[in-house]
Amino acid sequence: MSAPTAAPHATRPAGDEDMSSTVRAFEAYGDGDWDDIAREAIGEERIVVNMGPQHPSTHGVLRLMLEIDGETVTEARAGIGYLHTGIEKNMEFRTWTQGTTFCTRMDYVAPLFQEAAYCLAVEKLLGITDDVPERANVIRVLMMELNRIASHLVCLGTGGNEMGATTVMTIGFTAREEILRLFEAVTGLRMNHAYIRPGGVAVDVPEGFTAQARAALKNVRGYLKQLGDLMLANPIFKARLTNVGVLNLSGCMALAVTGPVLRSTGLPYDVRKDNPYCGYETYDFDVPTSKGADCYDRVVLRVEECYQSLKIVEQALERLDRTEGEPVMVADKKIAWPAQLAVGGDGQGNSLEHIKKIMGTSMEALIHHFKLVTEGFRVPVGQAWQTVEHPRGELGVHVVSDGGTRPYRAHFRDPSFNNLQATSVMCEGGQVADVVVAVASLDPVLGGVDR
């Protein structure tokens, strides 16, 4: 490859003969890189470094391109797409119920929120929002709030570890294990559950679950207190995060940033309060805010949000006790998923009693089961938009139906995707070491960004 050459010349802007300043233009000949041309012709050297695609605080495969001057970041750009799965496109080739299995794998740290938002949108299209049983909505709220705590614990734990506070990570992940055991007891899985289905949930909580949950919550509350003592009362931790990664309210509004990052500017926007779903308007909880708009305030808010989620979970457990034995799926057998899950010797699956019933009672029952599982139910022509309050901000789902058994289009407004736009604003002008802290405070999960 031939070395690039440049022919600089000075020109005055046309129509402005009185301006004393000149505009320098460069013409490049041959092959080469513009960085080389700039270095040769201008005499300046731009140092551009890659942080990633594998790097701490990204919770996935994120590439950060940093232009630095010494230790100061002069330009920061985020490169995404390394974790692209094509989930949205794949959903167009699966039934409406099977779509839950796909979207749960987007943001793998908070899978139940994608399931809930998607199913709420499908239920809008079906016109059965008010037909979903109360117990199903209570279970949805319970599972989402437990997932919110687990997600925040990942953010706090990994963020602490990336700054050298390993104990923060061990306590955070130990607390998260308590919640994952509850998920496994209910859905059979620790993540990627496909548990929330159009019309309700796949199966009721197991016997004795409320007692198990209350015991786990007691442990989680103790771990949260330890995390608060380790982080919020630690002068070194506080000094490391204060006035780092500042993003004010104007910046959040311009970039459509939501969640704890937005609430750290003092705006109490929370979809659970402003546009409630699943009966959130009947629960007693607060939306914490702060005014610092920096990384430290976002840590404080996430800890406080965990306590608020515990408050909601405790109310949901009381409602579970009160509604024991009630249905968890809509009564319409043309929509209700025909499964009665149970734990057997070979794992979780359809109960033997249910299999005997559909196989032995009538040929029509067997045909209906087969058609509903393989072909799926039809959804009327139309489109619906649904939002939920995800741990990282506002998660939106836009589903379109052409009247068939599969989505014509399913598109997700993932909060991590929007929040990552703030990377340059938060990092430029700061130190290279502060980039990790700033990105960690956004808490992006790249499965949701790339999807």
Residues 262 and 369 occupy one common structural domain: no
Q: What pLDDT score was predicted for residue 164?
A: 83
Mean pLDDT of 338-360: 68
Among the candidates 316, 346, 375, a domain finishes at 375
Determine the average pLDDT of the residues in 393-399.
96
Q: Which domain holds residue 366?
A: 336-375
CA 199 and chain centroid, separation: 23
245: domain CATH number is 1.10.645.10
- In a domain, residue 257? The reply is yes
The reply to whether 1 falls in a domain is no
Identify whether residues 209 and 355 lie together within a single domain. Answer: no
Is 419:258 a contact under the CB 8 Å cutoff?
Answer: yes
Looking at the structure, tell me whether residues 139 and 155 fall in a common domain. yes
152 & 242 share domain:
yes
Specify the higher pLDDT residue, 23 or 349.
349
Query: What is the tens place of the pLDDT at every residue in 139-187?
Result: 999 999 999 999 999 999 988 888 888 899 999 999 999 999 999 999 8
Q: Pick from 351, 375, 399: which residue ends a domain?
A: 375
239 and 300 in a single domain? The answer is yes
> What's the rounded mean pLDDT across residues 49-68?
78
Residues 153 and 208 in one domain: yes
pLDDT tens figures, 428-451: 888 888 888 999 899 899 888 988
Query: Which is higher by pLDDT, 18 or 166?
Result: 166
Does residue 350 share a domain with residue 228?
no
Any domain includes 301? yes
**Burial letters 413-445, b for 16+ CB under 10 A, else e:** bbbbbbbbebbbbbbbebebebbbbbbbbbbbb
Q: Kindly state whether residue 71 falls inside one of the protein's structural domains.
A: no
Cβ proximity of 383 and 398 under 8 Å: yes
Helices 134-162, 166-187: crossing angle, 10 deg rounding: 160
Are residues 397 and 365 part of one domain? no
On whether residue 358 sits in a domain, the answer given is yes
pLDDT, mean over the chain: 86
Alpha carbon of 185 to those of 190, 310, 335, 352: distances in Å? 9, 18, 26, 19
Provide the pLDDT for residue 162. Answer: 83
**Structural tokens at position 447:** 């499965």
In a domain, 23, yes or no: no
Least confident segment among 31-40, 53-62, 66-75, 330-339: 31-40
Closest C-alpha to 179, from 205, 150, 201: 150
Quote the pLDDT of residue 11. Answer: 36
Q: Provide the domain count of the chain.
A: 2
Neighbour-count burial for 161-191, b at 16+ CB within 10 Å, e otherwise: bbbebeebbebbbebbebbbebbebbbbebb
Report which of residues 43 and 412 the model is more confident about: 412
Within a domain: 167: yes
Please say whether the beta carbons of 112 and 196 come within 8 A: yes
Does residue 171 fall inside a structural domain? Answer: yes
List, in sequence order, the alpha helices (H) in 163-270: 166-187, 209-231, 235-241, 249-255, 260-263
- With a cut of 80, say whether residue 15 has pLDDT above it: no
Average pLDDT over residues 344-356: 68
- Whether residues 222 and 298 fall in one domain: yes
Are 393 and 356 in the same domain? no
Do both 357 and 229 map to the same domain? Answer: no
Tokens 């970041």: give the residue.
73
Residue 408 main-chain phi, psi, to 5 deg? -70, -35
Residue 373: pLDDT band (50, 70, 90) is confident
Same domain, 169 and 235: yes
> Which range has the top average pLDDT, 269-283, 320-334, 360-374?
269-283
